[in-house]
Amino acid sequence: MSANIIHFLIFPGGLFALVLGVFMLSLERIVVAKLQGRVGPPIYQNFIDVIKLFNKEILIPKDAKECVFKYAPLIGFAGMLAMLYFLPVPGVYEGNGVNGDLILLIYVMALPAIAHILGGGASSSPYAAIAVNRELKLMLVYEMVFVVISFSVALYVGKGDAVFSLKKIMEYQQIHGSFLLDWKFWPAIIAFVIFVLATLELPPFQIAHHNDADVMDGFLIEHGSIPLAIYEMTDALKIVLLSAVFQIFFFPVAIADDVVLNLLWFIVKTTLFVMFFSLLHAILPSYRIDQAFKFLLIVPTTLSLITLVLVILSVKGLI
Amino acid sequence: MSIITRSPFLFRINTGSCNGCDVELATTAMIPRYDVERLGCRYTGSPKHADILLVTGPITVRSKPYLLEVLDELPNPFVVVAVGTCPTSCGIFRDSYAIEGPLDKYVKVDVNVPGCPPRPQAIIDGVAKALEIWKQKIRIQK
Amino acid sequence: METKDKDSKMSGFLKIAIRNLLKGPTTDPYPFGPTFIPDKLRGKLKVNPKACTACGTCEEVCPSGAIHITKNENVYVHTTWYNTCCYCGNCEFFCPTGAIKLTNDFHTANTEAEKFKFVTVATIPEVKCEKCGEYFMAPSLELLKRAYPNVNESIERFLTLCPKCRQKEAFERLHK
């Protein structure tokens, strides 16, 4: 019982993921700055940002729904924290898997966006209304991509019967070789990269949030100190969650039997993951909302459906 | 807690200026030569997230209501920096029929950076002085 | 035209990004290090009291009214308030003796407590005449050089004799 509480609060949930995630957020800023020819902030910058936000005054607009405004950020934060308790870390932590935690993952992935939408809608600002509109349109299409990728991985592991347990997906790859080297899954990896760009709201999908061209700060424009800090911490947890999901689906290789070495290997893989997305952030410009919707509807959906078809054909024995 | 003052969020408002000082503020933020992110600063899009308010321009009659709205929305404790000669003392536009006076009339200004326009290095100096004053305001508030 | 096409494709920025990674940042090191200061930078002005004659031209042409010249017994006080100066250089352009000049000092940030103390003051004293002992405003050497092509000893008497005594001396020299 007490081991479960430690797994929830300190490792790999709670404290470990929060600290790693906040470092990853400022690492992203540093890599983008170096690519643009500047010197970025120091590595502990986002820590100080979050601590400073707890010391400011909370201002609530007059026409806002107070209850929803103050408590909506907790939905996303609690969801991310709960999901990190279930995820296995390759070589270090077995995961507290019940048999259906892939389906739980699909639901929980959408929770931070729902928290953004509720919080933005409850503040009575026209900028927030436009940003919520755009976020909803994007959410429609990128959730579909993630569902199709998860189903193709689950079908392949179960050889026809879908296996929804993350622990079994990890163990299958540790025996049979990881999916990163399997040519049938390469379209799914490209689709997963596009999905991560869309869900973290990085360019080219930086339309609803931090878009300095029209909506300014998007749905967070009326939020003050403590709600804003909780949104930033949710963002930090989301980066760690996405990196862990990528490793479980495609590359859960542990390098040694030692727990500490495997933990360091996990951190190194997360750092490389975040650096790759910072490279894409620095290079690509941003789409308009109609271009983004069309792109997300056509390209990653097709790629993930190609992988699904290849997986079905290989399960039937035709490839 | 002096560690808080290492991450100020800046908000910029233009109350009728000629855009000279705004160009200098844009260069301190965005171009790689005078990067302001290495001091920990970040430009935000909303006054509700801001710690340091940068004002340019003499307060024209048409922009006065917007300035008063922004001053209402800043959370305590905050610091006001007047960038350029215009908000400090109206400069060459003094006694005009369309100017509603220097910034002193509406809020207690903390740092003045005169110049037409001031050099980006002088603006960074002004922001550094504002951080010291912000530190003292936090200490007084506790 | 060709370079514009090259940079608008995505690969254009990738080349810039890789060049930035290899060559390092291009950031000016101020305030953690020295920065470059050009010679003709329009910084704060400074008055040379030996060359100034308190003529009042700079006060007349200043567009923001930053310069004030007042008289305090036998001393002219030339005051400039930096917080309303717009660093245009009109005073330097119109000064007949070249006494007022803009330096390249750009450190102009000041706090509210010292807002009305951010001034520069120059005192230009009147000179006592050698013969009659009255105080008068003497021209400076630069003004003489601008007015006369050949400044010899008799012209330098302008500096120490009041106008009445100088007229008497010139009359005696020419008509005796």
State pLDDT tens for residues A64-79.
888 899 899 999 999 9
Residues of chain A in contact with residue B3, where contact means CB-CB under 8 angstroms, are 48, 51
Flag whether residue C86 sits within 8 Å of chain B, measured between CB atoms. yes
Task: Determine the Cα–Cα distance for residues A128 and A136; give it in Å rounded to an integer.
Answer: 12
* Mean pLDDT, residues C25-29 taken together: 80
Q: Does C171 touch chain A (CB under 8 A)?
A: no
Q: Hunting for tokens 């163990």 — which residue is that?
A: A171
- Determine the residue among B1, B7, B35, B140 to mutate to test chain A binding: the one whose Cβ has the most chain A Cβ atoms within 10 Å: B7
ipTM score of the complex?
0.86
Sign of CA dihedral B73, B74, B80, B84: negative
Q: What is the CATH number of domain C37-125?
A: 3.30.70.3270
Q: pLDDT above 70 covers what percent of chain C?
A: 94
| CA pair distance A101, B1, nearest whole angstrom | 43
The amino acid sitting at B138 is I
Which of A244, A248, A237 lies closest to A270 in space, CA to CA?
A244
Rounded to a whole number of angstroms, the distance between the first and last alpha carbons of chain C is 82
Contact yes or no for A282 and C17 at CB 8 A:
yes
Which of A95-104, A290-299, C53-62, C136-145 is least confident?
A95-104
Length of chain A: 319
Instruction: Report the pLDDT averaged over residues C73-100.
Output: 91
CA distance B89 to chain A (A): 31
Average pLDDT for residues B76-105, to the nearest whole number? 90
Candidate from A294-308, C110-124, C146-160 with smallest mean pLDDT: C146-160
Can you list the alpha helix ranges (DSSP code H) found in chain A? Answer: 2-9, 14-35, 45-53, 66-71, 73-86, 101-109, 111-122, 126-158, 166-176, 186-199, 226-250, 259-283, 289-315
**CA end-to-end span of chain A:** 47
pLDDT at C8 over 60: no
A65: Cβ contacts below 8 Å, ≥ 6 apart? A122
pLDDT string in tens for chain A (319-residue length): 566 777 777 776 778 889 999 999 999 999 998 888 888 899 999 999 999 888 888 888 888 888 899 899 999 999 998 888 888 888 777 777 677 888 889 999 999 999 999 998 898 888 899 999 999 999 988 899 999 999 999 999 888 788 888 888 888 888 888 888 888 899 999 999 999 999 999 988 998 888 877 888 888 888 888 999 999 999 999 999 999 999 888 888 888 778 888 888 889 999 999 999 999 998 888 889 999 999 999 999 999 999 999 999 998 888 7
Residues 6+ apart with CB under 8 A from B89: B102, B114, C81, C83, C84
C41 Cβ under 8 Å from any chain A Cβ: no
Mark yes or no for CB contact A217/B35 under 8 Å: no
pLDDT at C3: 46
What pLDDT, on the 0 to 100 scale, is given for residue A149? 93
b (16+ CB within 10 A) / e for A194-230: bbbbbbbbbbbbbbbbbbeeebbbbbbbbbbbebbbb
Contact A102, A155 (CB under 8 A): no
The stretch C104-117 carries a mean pLDDT of: 90
Domain ranges of chain C: 37-125, 127-176
pLDDT of B116 over the 80 cut: yes
Nearest-Cα distance to chain A for B40, in Å, is: 6
pTM: 0.86
pLDDT for residue B119 is more than 80: yes
Architecture of the domain whose range is B2-141: 3-Layer(aba) Sandwich (3.40)
Predicted confidence at residue C1, as pLDDT, reads: 44
pLDDT band at residue C82 using 50, 70 and 90 as cut-offs: very high
Nearest to A48 among B3, B49, B76 (CB): B3
| 3-state secondary structure (DSSP) of residue A135 | helix
Chains linked to A by 3 or more Cβ pairs within 8 Å: B, C
- Which chains would you list as touching C if contact means 3+ CB atom pairs under 8 Å? A, B
d(CA A307, CA B65): 58
Q: Nearest CB to A283: which of C14, C21, C26?
A: C14
Provide the residue range defining the domain that includes A238: 2-315
pLDDT at A1: 54
Q: How far is B71 from chain C (nearest CA, A)?
A: 18
Interface with chain A: mutation pick from C8, C21, C32, highest number of A CBs within 10 Å: C21
Select from C141, C145, C124, C126 the least CA-distant residue to C48: C124
In chain A, how many domains are there?
Answer: 1
Which pairs with CB-CB distance under 8 Å and at least 24 residues apart come from A168-176?
Answer: A168/A97, A169/A102, A169/A248, A169/A249, A170/A88, A170/A90, A170/A95, A170/A248, A170/A252, A173/A252, A173/A253, A174/A90, A174/A252, A174/A253, A174/A254
Q: Which residue of A has its CA nearest to B37?
A: A41
The mean per-residue pLDDT over the stretch C155-159 comes to 82
Question: Nearest Cβ partner of A224 from B7, B48, B138?
Answer: B48
Query: Do residue B75 and residue A58 have CB atoms under 8 angstroms apart?
Result: yes
Structure tokens given for C115: 């807002």
pLDDT at residue B1 in the model:
58
Chain A residues within an 8 Å CB radius of B71? none
Evaluate the CA torsion angle A273, A277, A278, A283 in order and state its sign: positive
Instruction: Name the pLDDT band for C2 (thresholds 50, 70, 90).
Output: very low
What is the full DSSP assignment across C93-125? HH-SS--EEE-S-----EEGGGGGG-EEEEEEE
Residue C5 has pLDDT above 70, yes or no: no
Contact list in A for residue B11 (CB cut-off 8 A) is none
Interchain contact C65–B (C-beta under 8 A): yes
Q: What pLDDT does residue A224 have?
A: 81
Using the Cβ of A276 and the Cβ atoms of chain C, whether some distance falls under 8 Å is answered with no
For tokens 């924290």, what's the residue?
A81
Asked if the Cβ–Cβ distance from B3 to A212 is below 8 Å, we say: no
What does the pLDDT average to over C132-138?
87
Interface chains of chain B (3 or more CB pairs under 8 Å): A, C
B139 and chain A: CB distance < 8 Å anywhere? Answer: no
Q: What is the DSSP letter of A179?
A: G
Distance from CA of C34 to the nearest CA of B (A): 11
Identity of the residue in B4, B42, B46 whose CB atom sits nearest the CB atom of A55? B4
Q: What is the pLDDT of residue A169?
A: 87
State the pLDDT at residue C61: 93
CA angle A20, A37, B132 (to 5 degrees): 70
Backbone φ and ψ for C74, nearest 5 degrees, come out as -110, 30
Q: Nearest-CA neighbor of A224 among A64, A117, A15, A18?
A: A64
- In order, the DSSP letters of chain B are -GGGGG--EEEEEESS--SHHHHHHHHHHHSGGG-SGGGT-EE-S-GGG-SEEEEES--BTTTHHHHHHHHHHPPSS-EEEEESHHHHH-GGGTT-TTB---GGGTS---EEE--SSPPHHHHHHHHHHHHHHHHHHHHHH-
Mean pLDDT of C148-166: 84
- Say whether pLDDT at B28 is over 80: no
Interchain CB contact of A40 with B (< 8 Å): yes
Residue-averaged pLDDT of chain B: 88
Residue type for position C166: R
- Whether residue C80 is predicted with pLDDT greater than 90 in this model: the reply is yes
Residue C144 identity = L
At C136 the pLDDT is: 87
The burial class, CB within 10 Å (0-12 / 13-18 / 19+), for B66 is: middle
Is A35 an 8 Å CB contact of chain C?
Answer: yes
Q: How confident is the model at residue B66 (pLDDT cuts 50, 70, 90)?
A: very high
